[in-house]
Amino acid sequence: MSRRLGWFIAGGLLVALLLAGVVSNFASGSPDGLDATAREGCTFNADDEITGGTCMLQQEGEHQMGDSPLADYGVRGVDNSFLSTALAGTAGVLITFAVGAGAFWLVRRRDQKV
């Protein structure tokens, strides 16, 4: 790997870590497009509980990974919400980078054997 490519990858990783660790805490808490669509057709009370109507949200269930350490955009056991979100985002970037780098390393090794 050339030095220039290494600096490019390191810079991209740094930007991704800053976005995930800092900027993600300022993301909107409003429902995104999928959530807004899933809520269409239902009425809600002040506590955001469904009080009537028919919508996709009524079929919502618990996520299979809901008990995982990084569920709900945070780290379980960390009480500070800013820190919890920052740690979860940073861990997500590092895990994704490691899996991607590992996959590229395997593909590169296989190509060199041929």
Q: Residue 53 forms beta bridges with which residues?
A: 42
For the chain, which residues make up each domain, given as ranges? 3-61+77-113
Indicate the residue type of 55: C
Give the pLDDT confidence score for residue 28 in this predicted structure: 74
Give the pLDDT confidence score for residue 112 in this predicted structure: 66
pTM: predicted TM-score of the whole model, two decimal places? 0.70
83 vs 22, 72, 73, 76, CA distance in Å? 9, 13, 11, 11
Whether 15 and 1 have beta carbons less than 8 Å apart is answered as no
pLDDT tens, residue by residue, 55-83: 998 888 888 888 888 888 889 999 999 99
pLDDT tens sequence for the chain (114 residues) = 688 999 999 999 999 999 999 998 888 777 678 888 999 999 999 998 899 999 998 888 888 888 888 888 889 999 999 999 999 999 999 999 999 999 998 988 776 665
DSSP, collapsed to helix, strand or coil, labels residue 17 as: helix
Q: In this structure, what DSSP letter does residue 63 have? A: -
